[in-house]
Amino acid sequence: MSHADTKTRIMDTATQLFARDGFHLTSLRTLTEQANVNLAAVNYHFGTKEELLQAVISRHLLPLNNIRQQKIEAVLAQAEADNKPPVAKDLLHAFIKPTLDFRNSGPGAKDFIALIGRSLSEPDETVRIYFIQQILPIFKLLFTGLQKALPELPANILMTRLQFTLGTMGHAMSSNLRPDQMVPGLPEMLSADELAKELINFVTSGLEAP
């Protein structure tokens, strides 16, 4: 097995176990057994368990953040070229649609979503801190763009509404992962594109409310 294959296997396994059992409850012994590697391989590629966690988060978030940044910057550049303020709905679409599309971006995506969802409700802040560190630049870009789109909103109100938006988006991502868990008699889930459309319409209305 090549070094690249070993590193990938370790990160794949770590994502699964961190999502299932939590970061602190996942022992390196369990991880190495599941990944079929030795402890020296983990130390060689990542150094510590915390550095492995950072690598797991970066592996998924950096490509997603690049996509979101490009799309948000494109909206802002077009608005500047038109000499108009950006449209809030366009900015939200640039941020939300790639985030929802991430669920089907490849192996491990759904485990990663479960890992982040778990971290937001756990008392321990380790995963949450690393996640926030990596999402903060794109969040600031979105926020400053929305300030231009909605200059009438006080910054603290906009921030609060944007937090509501992130919570709604997180719920949509996690609740739509398991169609088999739908309660009999309720309507079928929307397709990915329909879900994105409805979510963007919903949160845009909330952000633009008087």
What CA–CA distance (Å, rounded) separates 64 from 194? Answer: 21
Question: For residue 86, is it within any domain?
Answer: yes
pLDDT digits (tens, 9 = 90+) for 38-55: 999 999 999 999 999 999
pLDDT digits (tens, 9 = 90+) for 123-144: 889 999 999 999 999 999 999 9
pLDDT at 190 over 80: no
pLDDT given for residue 159 in this prediction: 97
pLDDT given for residue 32 in this prediction: 95
Find the domain containing 185 and state its range: 57-208
Question: For residue 27, is it within any domain?
Answer: no
Question: For residue 49, is it within any domain?
Answer: no
Question: For residue 6, is it within any domain?
Answer: no
Mean pLDDT in the chain?
A: 90
pLDDT given for residue 105 in this prediction: 81
Residues 6+ apart with CB under 8 A from 182: 188, 189
pTM for the full model? 0.87
Question: For residue 1, is it within any domain?
Answer: no
Question: For residue 203, is it within any domain?
Answer: yes
Q: What is the mean pLDDT of residues 174-185?
A: 61
Question: For residue 97, is it within any domain?
Answer: yes
pLDDT digits (tens, 9 = 90+) for 55-98: 999 999 999 999 999 999 999 999 999 999 999 999 999 999 99
**Res. 173 pLDDT band, cuts 50 70 90:** confident
What CA–CA distance (Å, rounded) separates 55 from 64? Answer: 14
Question: For residue 5, is it within any domain?
Answer: no
Q: Look up the CATH number of the domain holding residue 115.
A: 1.10.357.10
pLDDT given for residue 96 in this prediction: 95
Q: How many domains does the chain have?
A: 1
